[in-house]
Amino acid sequence: MLSFKFTCWNIEHADKLIDALADGTATKRQRAEARREAIAEEIARIDPDILLVGEGPNGEDRARGFFEQVAPGYRLVTRGSSERRDYGMQGTDAATGRQWLWFLVRRGAPIEADLLHLDRWRALTDAASGGEHRGGRWQVSFPKYVGGSLQFDIDGNHMHWRHPQVLLAAIDGHRFEIIGAHLKSKYTQVRGTGDVSDAAFFANNPQLVAELIKARTKITTECADIRHYIDARFEADASAPIIVAGDLNDGPGKERIERRFLYHDLISTLQGEIFFARRFLNHALFDAPEDERWSVFFRDALDPGRSPHILLDHILFSQSFTGNRQVTPFAYRARQGGGLVEHALHHAVTGPRPAYAMTSDHKPVSMVFDRREETRPSA
């Protein structure tokens, strides 16, 4: 292959769509069918070689049946298990436990693909964390609201609610990996009272503050666990070709809550430190037009001054996909200008359709990688 296109896309509650397709109410079923057809058209128009789907169906059987309908030209990469724990998915409720991560690979393409066993992930993160992460869990501390006052829970712990899935891929024998992630949401069910622009808003809503910081602390530790895996891979291979992608529930920059209470953002944590340049991850949208770097339109009630154009969906890649001479180059290089949010394509599919047939509230993000001239097979 002279190039390959990789796309990540959060399809927004695909498992609920499957339920609606079998609904006894004709109108509900017909609307679900219209949305399913729109999703199939959007995937066909994107035309990726590898597709990472977020908020996918719950379990292999439902995923296989769904993707046979919306992506018939693709092979679903599975573990061969109906047990959710083999995928590291927690819970079974509609809000979280039914949002699975899936990789699809174009049929007929010379792409080998398997999923990393979670035992291997945990062994590497345990080692890279110095034992602070053990058996897929880690300690985490955050505020809690008890009896009308803020306290601090020092002995809490956390684990991935939706465990990252790692695709071990090879194209024409050249091996690389893609870490697919859908990090914990920052959403909280606690609602504040009063005007959010009031200087005393947070002081007057201590329970909300506790929940906001708790959610952000947990998502940050999930991000750190991914970074532990990446660092462990670099310990074994200083030029490891790694792509990280998915709905990371963060971006761009520091939101109001981060500015007030934490003052960091996840993407910077995940990318690594520029002082250790070999381990730094580049962003696929680095050279994309600035006003097009968003994948979700969302008005943040707690941050009304923030732009509603939010970049939640990301593709990052290690230095071996670049021209960095300090690392051994991978057979494929990130194309200059090859990263984009699929705005035009998404509009072309959804524009002629009613709201109930909207494919997703997220827009797909893609990146193209080209075969380096010196690694191309001779004619």
Distance CA 175, CA 335 (A): 18
Spatial CB neighbours of 331, under 8 Å, sequence gap ≥ 6: 171, 172, 174, 371, 372, 375
Confidence of residue 161 (pLDDT cuts 50, 70, 90): confident
The DSSP letter of residue 351 is T
For residues 301 and 196, the answer to whether their CB atoms sit within 8 Å is: yes
Mean pLDDT computed over every residue of the chain: 91
pLDDT tens digits, 326-350: 899 999 999 999 999 999 999 999 9
Q: Is the predicted pLDDT of residue 305 greater than 90, yes or no?
A: no
- Answer yes or no: are the C-beta atoms of 230 and 279 closer than 8 Å: yes
pLDDT at 306 over 90: no
- Angle, alpha carbons 265-280-132 (nearest 5°): 65
- Identify the weakest region by mean pLDDT among 53-57, 140-144, 226-230, 265-269: 265-269
pLDDT of residue 299: 87
In this prediction the pTM is 0.94
From residue 120, alpha-carbon distances to 91, 115, 166, 184, 229 in Å are 22, 11, 10, 22, 10
The answer to whether 367 and 6 have CB atoms below 8 angstroms apart is: yes
Least reliable range by pLDDT among 145-154, 211-220, 269-278: 269-278
Q: Residue 171: helix, strand or coil by DSSP?
A: strand
pLDDT (0 to 100) of residue 261: 81
Between strands 296-297 and 282-283, the pairing is unpaired
How much is the pLDDT for 188?
83
Q: Which CATH class is domain 3-375?
A: alpha beta
Report the pLDDT value the prediction gives residue 75, as an integer from 0 to 100: 98
Q: What's the pLDDT tens digit per position in 175-212? A: 999 999 999 888 888 888 999 889 899 999 989 999 99
Per-residue pLDDT tens digits for 270-289? 888 766 778 889 999 999 99
Own/partner long-range contacts of 32-37 (Cβ < 8 Å, ≥24 apart) = 34/353, 34/354, 34/356, 34/357, 35/356, 35/357, 35/358, 35/359, 36/69, 36/70, 37/357
Chain position carrying tokens 């609201």? 145
Give pLDDT, residue 249.
86
Domain assignments of the chain as residue spans, ordered by start = 3-375
What pLDDT is stored for residue 172 in this prediction?
92
